Amino acid sequence: MERELPAKGAGSAAAVAPKRVVFAGAIALAAVLSILHGLRIAAATRGVDVFPALLGALAGVLLADFASGVVHWACDTWGNERSAWFGDSLIRSFREHHRSPTAMLAHDWIEVNGEVASAAAAIFLLLLAGAPAGWLQEHPGWYALVWATVSVGALSNQFHQWAHAPVPPRLVRALQRYGLVLSMRRHAPHHRAPCIHRYCISTGWLNPSLDAIGFWRGLERAIQRATGRLPRADDATGR
């Protein structure tokens, strides 16, 4: 989730600009590296059975969707904006999003994707190192799984923003219509009080199954038994 934009006049443009430059560079680098890894996977599958790579890519998309749900659920359920490490960034962003779901539309591509793209670029660079690169080339199914997880995960915030946009780009609308990425119709139930389901925000494919089996409530009960902490006890958003 992206953070709320600072008020006009807050801080200086000089203080903000370097961070935006870094994030813009990270987005470009992550995109280039994703394409590079995709080409390396294609090369690794040349002349061999492509099914493991296709299965790995599908598993990676599902894993990215699940990871987006875990992060979203955790930030909605535990701690508050004053919590150490993630309170002023991730938790604050998700809680503010519940108070004003469409505020994220005021953020541009760099603000939405910069932080996640930075992490994705770092992972992609690590995957080019000697030992990991060699092993992945020999196991294209696992390579495709990692590549799809990181690539789709890097776009989760953007998919989420598009799910709130009244008129997303035409290609995105087509992807949403066919259920390939999160759509406004499939995401809207998450914002109905008490906002405790439909947490996955990349493709949203796992939402029906996870909600049907009570996965999130079961996870909350397990954590409550282990720690004694109540889910959403520190939530100040009024949900």
The CA distance from 11 to 13, in Å, is 7
In this predicted model, what pLDDT tens digit does every residue of 99-115 receive, in sequence order? 888 999 999 999 999 99
**Is residue 233 in a domain?**
no
Domain range enclosing 171 = 13-227
DSSP letters, 89-141, are: IIIHHHHHHHH-GGGGGGS-HHHHHHHHHHHHHHHHHHTTSHHHHHHHHH-HH
**Is residue 1 in a domain?**
no
**Is residue 123 in a domain?**
yes
Q: In this structure, what token pair is assigned to residue 135?
A: 């092993």
pTM, two decimal places: 0.87
Contacts for 83-91: CB closer than 8 Å, 24+ residues apart: 83/234, 89/3, 90/1
The mean pLDDT value for 78-94 works out to 73
In this predicted model, what pLDDT tens digit does every residue of 122-176 receive, in sequence order? 999 999 988 889 999 999 999 999 999 999 999 999 999 999 999 999 999 999 9
CA 117 → CA 151, 178, 194, 200, 220, distances in Å? Answer: 9, 26, 31, 18, 29
Q: What is the pLDDT of residue 2?
A: 43
**Is residue 140 in a domain?**
yes
The mean pLDDT value for 54-68 works out to 98
Q: Give me the number of domains the chain comprises.
A: 1
CA 38 → CA 121, 125, 148, 186, 238, distances in Å? Answer: 14, 13, 9, 29, 44
